[in-house]
């Protein structure tokens, strides 16, 4: 076996891996061998690298393409009182390291199916968002393309707000203009929804959109979908959707506000994880609902499957705001770990790995097949349906 | 006016954001959003208006007293989560509020504290170049270079490569100087390098080894920790784990003497897992214990935190060096190395421990060693300090 020596000697292994990984993730070039070794220590198998059994590439492809792999990921596995990386995540990274060094896996294959996050020091599968169905829905090509300024984040280990905002300036501006045009072309009140994965940049673009409406003298209001959540105890871990929300209340409220009426909606308490309303949609004793005034533009932002059929018909513009998974993860390192100090780093890594795939399959892929606009900040491309493009081209 | 601000969290954070840009220019790279995320953990339950401010003199006194640091808890918990030590939180809260109300001037805050962005807390500035140390070195460095670590000012963390590049000049001069001193004294020679965590000891030792190797000199090293006695015995006596009493001191002294005479030595082996020594308290090998054999060499590194605080052996050490990097830069190195890469510590544990150890270690180890060493390499100040005797040797050759 040509690879045996390399797998046998830890020093040699890490040296070869270091060179190989520079080609997989160019950011590794900014590390010293020392640093790579520090990080590698945490994933080094007890019995050495030659103890790692390598699955065949097609087996691995099958594994990472299936839902079961992700639902099996534990979020908080422990060794002693310390949360650690999930076993199957560790095994995947070990296989890829060992396979790259021994030559069992080609670099092209690894790069095609995985990306490597430096701070997490692990491989994550690449999730496809622009599936064939999605591409077909948008006529196969984007409406507008800009320079991909996020390319410069390639070497970054984390990404802050300012860099992110600067990189997206053009596409964000174009998106805002399109939304303004569409509103002008249609009647109000109008409901606009914006969905997107965590750390894609929803909050920031929402703020900019609302500023734009304000400057245009439009009366707008926002509805947080989260307020329609059932008590956490009643949701049984079901994903955001019909089963986990006061869905009929949501429908009725939207219908009424679109008729220009005041609405009274549930209020969700994030600290106690309870709703002001019971499961039957009645106000609980002592609870205070939210009152919302009518407006021209009703804006709903969140991690919600707005494609649900009954709801879909009420929405004037359904937009999806996307940022590539490697960039979202880098944003979360800075925001959720460095600044907010919200998560244990191992829990955080397990959770991102797991939900990246599951959310895409449950929420974003189906939504993208039926939505009006997709903003792809990393690809710096705006995708619009032929119908929307027809409206935009009218004048 | 200020009462209004203290009662309005949004106004408070907005004004604080502007003030903090003056205290730490790295804050300018943040958006207000991000600053608020960082600040959230420190917002007092009863609002900023509830923070009582101590007098500046009182704060200065407290921050220079050992008791304050001894009292810092390293792993205080709320629920099962490790949190920042209370007194550390209180200090940050006071400084934030005092900056807003004007009770503490920016200059005073900057003179006594530095603000670490990733940790989002204030730490005391520890003085390493005390009057005694300055006197020991005749008041000025042997040579100064451009302070390239200034580039790190706005950074939140610092990696190996940029650190090495920033130190290239002073490191090179240091290595050349060590070579000259060795040429002057002759070999075998004992060389000890002390320095705080993340100052860059490992890297400079590695470069020295390479340099000696290229010059055809044999190099070996002795780890002080191997001379530790069994932990049970040390704890029973309540001995500080690094002092003379904690070591097989006679063996240590004899070993150093022997190896400086070019003899092969056989030293105790300390098992860090079981916390036991291969040798008993009388310095005899325990049954089944395996000592460490060390071949003679031209240059022998002594590795450990307190290599030249041991009076009876200090005369055996040919070159005594303290390798220093400013506390704020060390902390930034630790964020990258110990948190990002090694994932070794809980974030709050690291913050508590660094705050505490920075002062205590300076007091018990580094300041004292700086007063008796031959050279100090100050990487952040980009300066090499040498004693008058060493200065003479270096100038002659």
Q: How far apart are CA A96 and CA A107, in angstroms?
A: 10
A155 and chain B in contact, CB less than 8 A:
no
Identify the three-state secondary structure at position B139.
coil
**Which tens digit of pLDDT belongs to each residue from B230-245?**
988 887 776 655 678 8
pLDDT tens for B26-66 read 999 999 989 999 999 999 999 999 999 999 999 999 999 99
Closest chain A residue to B120, measured at CA: A339
The predicted structure's pLDDT at residue B240? 57
DSSP string, A223-255: EEGGGGBPPHHHHTTPPSSGGGBTHHHHHHHHH
Residue of A nearest to B165 (CA): A32
Contacts of A41 in chain B (CB under 8 A): 342
Q: Which two tokens stand for residue B69?
A: 């640091």
Contact A356, A124 (CB under 8 A): yes
Q: Is-contact A158 A119, C-beta < 8 A?
A: yes
Nearest to B327 by CA among B357, B295, B297, B348: B357
pLDDT tens readout for residues B210-224: 999 999 999 999 988
Nearest to B85 by CA among B50, B47, B122: B122
Report how far residue A71's alpha carbon sits from residue A63's, in angstroms, rounded to the nearest whole number. 12
Q: Which two tokens stand for residue A237?
A: 């871990």
On chain A, the residues whose CB falls within 8 A of the CB of B21 are none
Judged against a pLDDT cut of 60, whether residue A282 lies above it is answered with: yes
Structure confidence at residue A1 (pLDDT): 47
CB contact under 8 A, B37 and A339: yes
pLDDT digits (tens, 9 = 90+) for B126-152: 999 999 999 999 999 999 999 999 999
Distances (CA, A) of B222 to B225, B268, B307: 9, 11, 11
* Percent of the residues in chain A that have a pLDDT greater than 90, as a whole number: 83
In whole angstroms, give the CA distance from residue B140 to residue B391. 11
* B335 → chain A, closest CA residue: A338
Question: Please, which residues have CB within 8 angstroms of residue A244's CB and are 6 or more apart in sequence?
Answer: A229, A230, A235, A238
Q: How confident is the model at residue A219 (pLDDT cuts 50, 70, 90)?
A: very high
Phi, psi of A223 (to 5 degrees): -125, 120
Q: Is the pLDDT of residue A395 over 70?
A: no
Using CA of residue B143, residue B148, residue B152, residue B154, what is the dihedral sign? positive
Share of chain B above pLDDT 90, in %: 84
Is A35–B33 a contact, with Cβ atoms under 8 angstroms apart? no
Q: Is the dihedral of CA A281, A282, A284, A287 positive or negative?
A: positive
A125 and A114 Cβ atoms separated by less than 8 Å: yes
Q: What is the pTM of this model?
A: 0.89
Task: End-to-end CA distance of chain A: give it in Å, rounded.
Answer: 68
Return d(Cα A39, Cα A121) in angstroms, integer: 7
ipTM greater than cut 0.85: no
What confidence tens digit (pLDDT) does each residue in A329-371 have? 999 999 999 999 988 999 999 999 999 999 999 999 999 999 9
How many Cα atoms sit within 13 Å of B355 on the Cβ side?
33
**Interval B258-292: pLDDT, tens:** 999 999 999 999 988 788 999 998 899 999 999 99
At residue B235, the pLDDT reads 78
- Give the residue from chain A lying closest to B35, CA to CA: A339
Question: What integer pLDDT is reported at residue A78 of this predicted model?
Answer: 95
Q: Where are the alpha helices (DSSP H) in chain A?
A: 4-8, 10-24, 33-41, 57-65, 67-71, 87-102, 107-113, 132-137, 161-167, 169-185, 202-215, 232-235, 247-258, 309-312, 325-332, 345-359, 365-370, 386-392
Which residues of chain A neighbour B160 with C-beta distances below 8 Å? 31-32, 34-35
- Which residue from B minimizes the CA distance to A30? B161
The conformation of residue A125, written as its DSSP 8-state character, comes to E
Planar angle of CA A265, A271, A276, nearest 5 degrees = 25
How sure is the predictor about A3, in pLDDT bands with cuts at 50, 70 and 90? Answer: low
Q: Is the pLDDT of residue A255 over 60?
A: yes
Compute the mean pLDDT over every residue in chain A, rounded to the nearest whole number: 93
DSSP string, A60-88: HHHHHHSHHHHHT--SS-EETTEE---HH
Query: What count of other Cβ atoms lies within 10 Å of the Cβ of residue A376?
Result: 21
Strand, helix or coil for residue B122 = strand
pLDDT score at A278:
92
Structure confidence at residue B241 (pLDDT): 58
Cα A281–chain centre separation: 31
Is the pLDDT higher at B6 or at A167? A167
Contact B343 A345 (CB under 8 A): yes
| Chain B residues in contact with chain A using a Cβ-Cβ cutoff of 8 Å | 29-31, 33-34, 37-38, 40-41, 80, 118, 120, 156, 159-161, 164, 202-203, 336-337, 340-343, 347-348
Query: Given a cut of 70, is residue B318 above it in pLDDT?
Result: yes
H-run or E-run covering A376? strand A373-376
In A, which residues are within 8 Å of B120 by CB distance? 339
- Give A79's contacts in chain B (Cβ within 8 Å): none
């Amino acid at each position: 076996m040509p690879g045996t020596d390399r797998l046998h000697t830890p020093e040699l292994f890490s040296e070869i891996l270091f060179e190989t990984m520079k080609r997989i993730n160019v950011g590794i070039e900014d590390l010293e061998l020392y640093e790579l070794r520090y990080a590698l220590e945490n994933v080094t198998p007890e019995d050495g690298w030659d103890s790692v059994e390598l699955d065949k590439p097609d087996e691995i492809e099958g594994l990472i393409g299936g839902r079961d792999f992700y639902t099996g990921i534990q979020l908080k596995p422990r060794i002693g009182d310390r949360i650690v990386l999930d076993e199957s995540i560790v095994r995947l990274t070990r296989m890829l390291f060992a396979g790259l060094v021994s030559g069992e896996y080609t670099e092209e294959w690894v790069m095609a199916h995985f990306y490597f996050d430096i701070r997490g020091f692990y491989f994550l599968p690449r999730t496809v968002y622009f599936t064939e169905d999605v591409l077909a829905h948008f006529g196969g090509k984007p409406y507008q393309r800009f320079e991909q300024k996020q390319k410069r984040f390639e070497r970054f280990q984390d990404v802050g707000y300012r860099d992110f905002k600067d990189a997206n300036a053009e596409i964000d501006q174009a998106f805002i203009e399109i939304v303004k045009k569409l509103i002008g072309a249609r009647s109000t009140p109008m409901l606009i929804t914006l969905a997107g994965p965590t750390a894609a940049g929803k909050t920031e673009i929402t703020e900019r959109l609302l500023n734009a409406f304000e400057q245009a003298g439009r009366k707008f209001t926002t509805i947080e979908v989260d307020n329609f959540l059932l008590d956490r105890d009643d949701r049984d871990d079901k994903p955001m959707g019909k089963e986990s929300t006061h869905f009929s209340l949501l429908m009725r409220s939207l219908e009424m506000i679109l008729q220009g009426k005041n609405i009274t909606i549930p209020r969700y308490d994030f600290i106690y994880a309870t709703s002001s309303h019971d499961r039957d949609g009645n106000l609980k004793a002592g609870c205070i609902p939210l009152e919302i005034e009518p407006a021209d533009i009703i804006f709903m932002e969140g991690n919600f499957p707005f494609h649900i059929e009954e709801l879909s018909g009420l929405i004037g513009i359904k937009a999806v705001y996307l940022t590539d998974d490697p960039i979202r993860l880098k944003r979360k390192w800075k925001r959720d770990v460095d600044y907010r100090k919200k998560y244990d780093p191992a829990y955080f890594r397990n959770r991102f790995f797991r939900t990246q795939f599951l959310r895409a399959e449950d929420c974003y892929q189906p939504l993208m097949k039926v939505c009006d606009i997709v903003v792809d900040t990393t690809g710096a491309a705006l995708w619009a349906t032929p119908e929307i493009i027809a409206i935009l081209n009218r004048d | 006016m200020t009462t209004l601000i203290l009662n309005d969290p949004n106004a408070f954070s907005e004004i604080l954001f502007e003030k903090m840009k003056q205290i730490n220019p790295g804050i300018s790279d943040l958006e207000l959003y991000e600053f608020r995320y960082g600040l959230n953990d420190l917002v007092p339950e009863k609002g900023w208006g509830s923070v009582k401010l101590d007098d500046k003199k009182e704060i200065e006194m407290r921050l220079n007293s050992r008791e304050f640091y001894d009292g810092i808890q390293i792993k205080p918990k709320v629920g099962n989560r490790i949190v920042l030590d209370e007194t550390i939180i209180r200090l940050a809260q006071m400084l934030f509020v005092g900056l807003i109300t004007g009770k503490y001037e920016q200059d005073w805050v900057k003179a006594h504290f530095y603000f670490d962005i990733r940790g989002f807390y204030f730490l005391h500035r520890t003085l390493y170049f005390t009057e005694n140390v300055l006197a020991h070195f005749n008041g000025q460095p042997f040579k100064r270079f451009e302070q390239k670590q200034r580039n790190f000012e706005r950074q939140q963390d610092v990696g190996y490569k940029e650190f090495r590049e920033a130190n290239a000049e002073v490191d090179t001069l240091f290595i050349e100087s060590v070579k000259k001193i060795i040429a002057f004294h002759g070999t075998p020679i004992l060389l000890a390098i002390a320095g705080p965590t993340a100052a860059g000891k490992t890297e400079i030792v590695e470069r020295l080894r390479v340099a000696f190797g290229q010059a055809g000199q044999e190099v070996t090293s002795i780890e002080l920790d191997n001379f530790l006695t069994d932990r049970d015995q040390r704890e029973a006596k309540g001995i500080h784990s690094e002092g003379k009493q904690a070591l097989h001191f006679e063996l240590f002294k004899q070993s150093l003497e022997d190896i400086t005479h070019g003899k092969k030595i056989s030293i105790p082996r300390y098992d860090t897992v079981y916390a036991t020594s291969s040798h008993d308290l009388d310095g005899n090998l325990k049954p089944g214990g395996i000592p460490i054999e060390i071949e003679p060499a031209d240059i022998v590194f002594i590795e450990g935190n307190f290599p030249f605080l041991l009076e009876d052996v200090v005369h055996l050490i040919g070159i005594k060096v303290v390798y220093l990097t400013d506390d704020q830069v060390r902390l930034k190195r630790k964020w990258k190395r110990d948190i990002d890469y090694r994932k070794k510590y809980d974030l709050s544990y690291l913050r508590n421990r660094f705050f505490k150890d920075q002062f205590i270690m300076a007091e018990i180890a580094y300041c004292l060693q700086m007063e008796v060493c031959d050279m100090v390499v100050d990487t952040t100040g980009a300066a090499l300090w040498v004693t008058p005797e060493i200065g003479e040797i270096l100038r002659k050759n």
